[in-house]
Amino acid sequence: MPNGQYKLRKALPERLQSLGLSERWLQEQIMLDPTLLGFGELNIIQREKIQPTGGRIDFIMSDPDNEIRYEIELMLGAVDESHIIRTIEYWDMERQRYPTIEHRAVIIAEEITSRFFNVIRLLNRAIPIVAIQLSAFRVGDEVVLQFIRVLDTYEFGADPDEEEPAELVDRGYWEKKSKPESLAVVESIKALTPTTKGDIRITYNKHHIALGTSGYNFCWFNPRRVAPHCHLQIKSGAEKRQAIIDRLEEGGIDANSRGRSSIGLNLSVKEIDDHRDLIKDIIENAEEWSHR
């Protein structure tokens, strides 16, 4: 339709309860389509899982490709203290029950006030907690649901190299912990790393593998136990980050922002081979950045 011929319809969010809709109705919509939450194609492990304390987790979902499990709590209306405490409590229980899997706490509410947003943001520095604000819009006889992620697990987190010193391990630790195809990504990236400013340095830590030369570390790996790809966090610099993400996505590789100046993405050896020049440019840029 030509510019200027669209009709503007003003839509204001309404509370689900004012529309005669309950939390159970909301759960059923998420059951039908978990992608509503914005985490991609997740598997629903259980709905309203009973906990030893007597409470129930609204949803436990998993991302099998990235070996992440989400403990999700829904709340109609405004978030409150008890909702935050329950979310963290359920996350901690599941984390202790399945310690080999990465867990993330997810809190969903129709209103997250500035007071509680600040509380969740402070907790986010120690706990991988995601905050999502839900808005419902009535359009004729239909309801449109909008889930906006107002706080992500990495938004306020430090880059891996800026955290407290990690516990050192050896390569054998990661060989036992991860799939060979996933661990092979480390060697593929190493082969693309320039050595004009120093020898390549690989550090095996308990929770990640770090790569650098004579400057700061600039690439971190999290090899997977099941998936053939590896998760990477690569320094890009804030000024170049979006351009790099755009180039990757043009090549069919999903990427997103991490920390203050990095990108996060999953790569397999095949993808590195297929996009060798592109990945090489990104690694060279990251290595150059590490000497600033």
Are 99 and 164 in a shared domain?
Answer: no
Tell me: pLDDT of 153 over 80. no
Please report which confidence band the pLDDT of residue 188 belongs to, taking 50, 70 and 90 as the band edges: very high
The residues with which 68 forms a beta bridge, in sequence order, are 63, 102
Average pLDDT, the chain: 86
* Candidate from 163-172, 181-190, 195-204, 220-229 with smallest mean pLDDT: 163-172
Residue 164 shares a structural domain with residue 218: yes
Percentage above 90 pLDDT, the chain? 45
Largest CA distance in the chain: 66
Residue burial 110-149, b: 16+ Cβ < 10 Å; e: rest: bebeeebeeebeebbeebbbbbbbbbbeeeeeeeebeeeb
Do 101 and 226 fall within a single domain? no
Q: What is the pLDDT at residue 166?
A: 61
In this prediction, residues 130-146 reach a mean pLDDT of 89
Structural domain boundaries, residue 220: 160-289
Rounded average pLDDT over 190-219: 92
168 and 247 in a single domain? The answer is yes
- Residue 50: pLDDT band (50, 70, 90) is confident
DSSP β-bridge partners for residue 147: 134
The Cα–Cα gap between 59 and 53 comes to 16
- Same domain? For 128 and 196 the reply is no
Q: Is residue 166 domain-resident?
A: yes
Please compute the mean of the pLDDT values over residues 205-220 and round it to a whole number.
90
Q: Looking at the domain assignment, is residue 221 inside a domain?
A: yes
Say how far residue 233 (Cα) sits from the centre of its chain. 12
Query: Has residue 82 been placed in a domain?
Result: yes
Q: What is the mean pLDDT of residues 235-256?
A: 90
Q: What is the pLDDT of residues 53-97, one digit of tens each?
A: 667 888 999 887 767 899 999 999 988 888 898 899 989 888 888
With cut-offs at 50, 70 and 90, classify the pLDDT of residue 250. very high
Number of domains making up the chain: 2
CATH number for the domain harbouring residue 123: 3.40.1350.10
**Is the confidence at residue 265, as pLDDT, over 80?**
yes
Could you say which of 101, 130, 151 is where a domain stops?
Answer: 151
pLDDT for 136 beyond 70: yes
Q: What is the pTM of this model?
A: 0.59
Interval 170-193 mean pLDDT: 94
Give CA–CA dist 278/289, Å, rounded: 17
> The domain that contains 207 carries what CATH number?
3.90.1150
Asked whether residue 241 is domain-assigned, the answer is yes
CA geometry: angle 84, 89, 90, nearest 5 deg:
105
